Amino acid sequence: MEVGYDRVQEVKKFDESKIGVKGLSDLGINEIPKFFIHPPETLSDLKSSSNCTGIPIIDLSDINSDRPKIVEQIRDAAKTWGFFQVLNHGVPNTVLEDTIGAIRAFHEQPVEAKAKHYIREEGHGVMYTSNNDLYRSKAACWHDSLQARVWMSPEPAKAEDIPAVCRREVVEWDHHAKKVAEAVMGLLAEGLGLGAGKFKELTFSDARVFVGHCYPYCPQPDLTVGITSHTDPGIVTVLLQNQIQGLQVRHGEEWVDVKPLPGGGLIINIGDFLQIVSNGEYRSVQHRVLANSNNDPRISIVMFFNLAKWKGSGYYGPLPELLTPQKPGYLPRFHHARVQPKFLWEGIG
């Protein structure tokens, strides 16, 4: 440790400034603060190590006329990758562009305007912050976030609490993202031999958390990351991003770059809870985001679909319909009180 360097004090100073990493980047700094520098074991394999062209791409345009084929494609992607991109999902390109533009506009406001929403109280209805785990992590990551617990207890966001610069777009995106997620959940349920409405009946689309991430230009992208490797805790995640690359997915022993698709592709990934209730048929996999070396910010808009109400004994575990003599439910069951606190917005894309 460098003599005279007080990490705790530097982190506190950064947090209380409410400037965020976007503010640091806008200052034109050439070196990132030391508390953003990650250890060698994190930085040693940042480059993609795969020859794969990317995660599976699934066209939903024939969802009614060729549904069995699409069910099979989504089932295979969820089993082998845990990630896939969907095209022709029904959301107008204008909505996608407006949502990205609105979140970028929020993050590009002056510090004073954003500071009104800056808070470090996890679970709050609406909050803007840099690194929700800033005081818990060993090294900070190069991103800022606007979160709205759109419709989720205990304190859901009120529309009037969402910053005016992006309020209309956040509310509209919630509507569209829910429709996409419910359509995909129906396909995923059918892939398990269940009815298309099974997951909706189990309230898998009722609790939603919106997060609008900004990954600004980083002057030393080889020394930090945008978000460290993790899995998402919930059911599924719907991700909308601009054309700045950065997301990587773990596939086997390799990291695969996820290249943004022109024309409005949306990324879907499986969460930990869906892996459990599917009795391990679907996979929740590690993913991360690299620090952004582009002059333009990477904008990533994530909608997490979490459990709202478990209809049953209060214990989570594989759905009884999916238990077989060959797979008798090897995944552990656990009580909701032990897992619910994990359903925050720590996942990312």
Cis peptide before 332 (omega within 30 of 0): no
Amino acid found at 38: H
Query: How far is residue 212's CA from residue 172's CA, in Å, rounded to a whole number?
Result: 14
Residues 6+ apart with CB under 8 A from 40: none
Q: 302 and 201 in contact (C-beta within 8 Å)?
A: no
Long-range contacts of range 112-119, CB-CB < 8 Å, 24 or more positions apart?
114/18, 114/20, 115/18, 117/146, 117/163, 118/18, 118/20
Is residue 336 predicted with pLDDT exceeding 60? no
Q: Of residues 64 and 225, which shows the higher confidence score?
A: 225
Tokens standing for 132? 């929700």
Percent of the chain beyond pLDDT 90?
74
Domain boundaries, the chain: 34-344
Least confident of 153-162, 178-187, 299-308: 153-162
In a 3-state reduction of DSSP, which class is residue 247? strand
Report the top-level CATH class of 34-344: mainly beta
Highest mean pLDDT among 38-42, 125-129, 158-162: 38-42
The alpha helices in 128-201, defined as continuous H runs, are 167-191, 198-201
Task: Calculate mean pLDDT across residues 223-239.
Answer: 97
Residues in contact with 104: Cβ distance below 8 Å, sequence separation at least 6, in sequence order: 214, 242, 297, 299
- Cβ–Cβ under 8 Å, residues 176 and 240: no
| Beta pairing, strands 57-59 & 83-87 | parallel
Rounded CA gap, 215 and 181, in Å? 25
Alpha carbon 55 to its chain's center:
16
Q: How far apart are CA 347 and CA 340, in angstroms?
A: 14
Distance CA 67, CA 37 (A): 47
Dump the DSSP string for 53-85.
Answer: --S-EEE-TTTTTTHHHHHHHHHHHHHHTSEEE
Nearest alpha-carbon partner for 235 in 195, 275, 192: 275
Does pLDDT of 122 surpass 80?
Answer: no
Enter the tokens of residue 244. Answer: 């700045």
pLDDT at 159: 87
Model confidence band, residue 153 (pLDDT cutoffs 50, 70, 90):
very low
Name the least confident of 41-55, 209-223, 244-258. 41-55
Q: pLDDT by residue (tens digit) across 71-110? A: 999 999 999 999 999 999 999 999 999 999 999 999 999 9
Is 282 a residue whose pLDDT tops 90?
A: yes
